[in-house]
C-alpha cells in the first residue's frame, strides 16, 4: 500500500498546482476528441455545485457525458460558418455544457467529460473556459496567454494578499484548459 500512494501521484503529475485541467492536451484535426476536465478543489472550502464548460469554435457536435446525481444543460448557438456533417448543413452547435444539481465537496476530485469532433482547419490551440460555481463563491478558469491579471474578489484561496502582489508576468493564475490541435486527415470515424 505504501508503494501505491507515490505511484498515484506519479500518474497524475498535471494535477499538482493546477485546478481545472484537461487530460488529453493534444487532438488531431478532423478526429473525434474526448475532453475530460478535472477539478481538484472547490471555492475557498466551499463545495462545487455547478460546472460549465464553454465549447470553442472548431469543436463540432459536442456531447456531454452524464454524471450520476448531476443534471445537464446544453446550450446551442447559431454558427457564423455552418459546416457539413453526414450530408447535412449544420447551422447551430453546442457552445456550452453545464453539469448542476450535484455536490462535489472541496476535499474531493472529480471529472466532467464531453466528446466532439475537432474541425478540419482548426487553429493551433483550443481553449475550454470553465466556470466552477460553489455553495459560496465561484472560480472562472478562463485566462488565455496575454490576458491581464484578474481581480481576486471571487477566487477562493487564490485571493490571498501574497498572491495579489507576486504575479509572474508569464504565468496565468486562472488558466483556461487548452488543447493543441495537430494536423490530421479528418477521416477518423466515431
**Would you state the pLDDT for residue 69?**
96
Residue 33 confidence (pLDDT) above 90: yes
Structure confidence at residue 185 (pLDDT): 64
- End-to-end alpha-carbon separation of the chain, Å? 39
Q: What is the DSSP letter of 189?
A: -
Dihedral angle at the C-alpha atoms of 36, 41, 46, 52, nearest 10 degrees? -20
Whether the per-residue pLDDT at 124 is higher than 50: the answer is yes
pLDDT digits (tens, 9 = 90+) for 83-123: 998 999 999 999 999 999 999 999 999 999 999 999 866 66
State residue 149's pLDDT score. Answer: 73
121 vs 138: CA distance, rounded Å: 34
Distance CA 115, CA 82 (A): 19
Percent of all residues in the chain with a pLDDT value above 90, rounded to a whole number: 64
Domain 17-145+173-182: CATH class, spelled out:
mainly beta
d(CA 78, CA 11): 40
Are the beta carbons of 156 and 43 closer than 8 angstroms? yes
Is the alpha carbon torsion for 179, 58, 113, 18 positive or negative? positive
Q: Measure the CA–CA gap between 127 and 4, rounded to whole angstroms.
A: 34
pLDDT-based confidence at 19, cuts 50/70/90? confident
Comparing 24-33, 87-96, 140-149, 150-159, the range with the smallest average pLDDT is 150-159
Amino acid at each position: 500500500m505504501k508503494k501505491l500512494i507515490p505511484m498515484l501521484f506519479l500518474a497524475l503529475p498535471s494535477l499538482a498546482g493546477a485546478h481545472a485541467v484537461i487530460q488529453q492536451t493534444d487532438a488531431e484535426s478532423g478526429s473525434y476528441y474526448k475532453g475530460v476536465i478535472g477539478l481538484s478543489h472547490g471555492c475557498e472550502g466551499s463545495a462545487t455545485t455547478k460546472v460549465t464548460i464553454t465549447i470553442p469554435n472548431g469543436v463540432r457536435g459536442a456531447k456531454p457525458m452524464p454524471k450520476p446525481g448531476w443534471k445537464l444543460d446544453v446550450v446551442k448557438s447559431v454558427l457564423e460558418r455552418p459546416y457539413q456533417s453526414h450530408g447535412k448543413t449544420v447551422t447551430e452547435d453546442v457552445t456550452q455544457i453545464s453539469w448542476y444539481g450535484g455536490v462535489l465537496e472541496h476535499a474531493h476530485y472529480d471529472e466532467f467529460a464531453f466528446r466532439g469532433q475537432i474541425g478540419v482547419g482548426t487553429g493551433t490551440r483550443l481553449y475550454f473556459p470553465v466556470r466552477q460555481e460553489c455553495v459560496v463563491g465561484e472560480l472562472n478558469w478562463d485566462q488565455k496567454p496575454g490576458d491581464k491579471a484578474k481581480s481576486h474578489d471571487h477566487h477562493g484561496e487564490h485571493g490571498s494578499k501574497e498572491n495579489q502582489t507576486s504575479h509572474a508576468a508569464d504565468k496565468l493564475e486562472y488558466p483556461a484548459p487548452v488543447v493543441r490541435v495537430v494536423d490530421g486527415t479528418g477521416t477518423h470515424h466515431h
